[in-house]
Amino acid sequence: MSPAEKLLRDLIALRSVNPAFMPANDPRAGEQRVADFLASTARQGSLAIERQTVFENRDNVLMRLSPLSKVKQRVVLAPHMDTVGHVTMPDSLFTPRKQGNRLFGRGACDTKGSIAAMLAALLNVARSSQRPQETEIVFAALVDEENSQSGSRALVASGFRADLAIVGEPTRLKVITAHKGDLWLTLRTRGKAAHGARPELGRNAVHAMARVVNLLETEYRRRIARRQHRLLGRATVNVGSIRGGTQPNIVPDACEITLDRRTLPGESDAGVIREIRSFLKQRRLAVEVLDDKAMAPCWAMETNPKLPLVQSLMRVAKQRAPAGVHFFSDASVFAHGGTPAVLFGPGDIAQAHTADEWISIRSLERATAVLTKFLQSLP
């Protein structure tokens, strides 16, 4: 068994479900067990360790491999420790299970596979004679990516910067230089309550919202679909929930929908909100458009693929052209904080969050080899 596979087996067995998805004090919640394990492993590799408290008992773990001479550049490897989950999930998901070339278990690809590959690669470099002479390598295991990206936001807010962030996500070993952003909005219509036997005396807020939903899912969707990005395709909108009324014999006086708007590089949250308000106003629809203030900004991200460090990683990965993904990640937080960022990791996002999540062992080993070679190529 390779060191990366052994690391991944140990990580899967450590429950680290994001607390946002679990009841208070659920024993399966929190990243602290993984953080403690990683810190212990780093000490065995003689790496300098720093812990950054983000929430109580939820720390980012930073491990540094510093050059002997003056630091001229910094590269950060940044996977996240938390996984998704739910209160009824079976404990069997935390028992690693190998079947053929696949290793099954919660977090196998999202993103404990990346943690294992990145840490194994860093330890390979630390123990070899090909350590970078001018580059500091930082392994940053982050909390809370699956909910609010609080770990990466705290690290960036502390002033941390690097010349490249490689964010661990299941990308099928592709170097990803762009991804979409995400904006959640609540739209509300107002009506007038009345008895269901005399609906003409009221004003039905659900009926008004039905027209709003139809226009958003047809005309507005076609409008934004005309915006194309060479790596990411189209901007999208999805009405994900609707709530209105209390019972059948009362005309509803209020109705709300929530929508998910996936943005492209160059689009801003404020611009999208103005666009939707204008779209509805032009159609004489009285609708309140409310930004979800509880949700931290999830901006679209695009990094120049011609940057020397990005080019170097792509060469080692034997990738000729940049690629994009539709999902959001910590890479955007790094990029908007001043650190060029890409995504790279073993596994396929299609397996993430599934009941039988798995990762290919070949993918894990290939990721470790690519990252080791890239880190050893740094000056």
Per-residue pLDDT reduced to its tens digit, 301-356: 999 999 999 999 999 999 999 999 999 999 999 999 999 999 999 999 999 999 89
Determine the pLDDT at residue 130: 86
Is 291 in the active site?
no
Local confidence band at 174 (pLDDT 50, 70, 90 cut-offs)? very high
59, 110, 136, 145: the catalytic one is: 145
Determine the pLDDT at residue 338: 97
Beta strands across the sheet bearing 102-104:
97-99, 102-104, 358-360
**Domain residue limits, the chain:** 3-179+300-377, 181-291
Fold (CATH) for 3-179+300-377: Aminopeptidase (3.40.630)
Percent of the chain at pLDDT exceeding 90: 92
Per-residue pLDDT reduced to its tens digit, 98-117: 999 999 999 999 999 999 99
Residues 6+ apart with CB under 8 A from 139: 42, 47, 61, 62, 63, 64, 65, 76, 77, 118, 119, 122
Cite the beta strand spans of the chain per DSSP E: 48-55, 58-65, 73-78, 97-99, 102-104, 135-141, 164-167, 176-179, 181-190, 228-229, 233-234, 236-244, 254-263, 288-291, 301-302, 323-325, 341-343, 358-360
Is 82 in the active site?
yes
Per-residue pLDDT reduced to its tens digit, 132-143: 999 999 999 999
- Can you tell me the mean pLDDT for 33-59? 94
- Can you tell me the mean pLDDT for 200-208? 96
Local confidence band at 68 (pLDDT 50, 70, 90 cut-offs)? confident
Determine the pLDDT at residue 249: 97
- Is pLDDT above 70 for 293? no
pTM of the model: 0.93
- Compute the Cα dihedral for 61, 64, 70, 76 and give only its sign: negative
Determine the pLDDT at residue 292: 65
Determine the pLDDT at residue 211: 97
> Among 3.40.50.170, 3.30.70.360, 3.30.160.270, 3.20.20.70, what is the CATH number of 181-291?
3.30.70.360
Per-residue pLDDT reduced to its tens digit, 211-251: 999 999 999 999 999 999 999 999 999 999 999 999 999 99
Determine the pLDDT at residue 44: 83
- Can you tell me the mean pLDDT for 254-272? 95
Local confidence band at 96 (pLDDT 50, 70, 90 cut-offs)? very high
Determine the pLDDT at residue 294: 61
Q: What integer best gives the mean pLDDT of the chain?
A: 95
Percent of the chain at pLDDT exceeding 70: 99
- Can you tell me the mean pLDDT for 263-281? 95
5, 31, 59, 82: the catalytic one is: 82
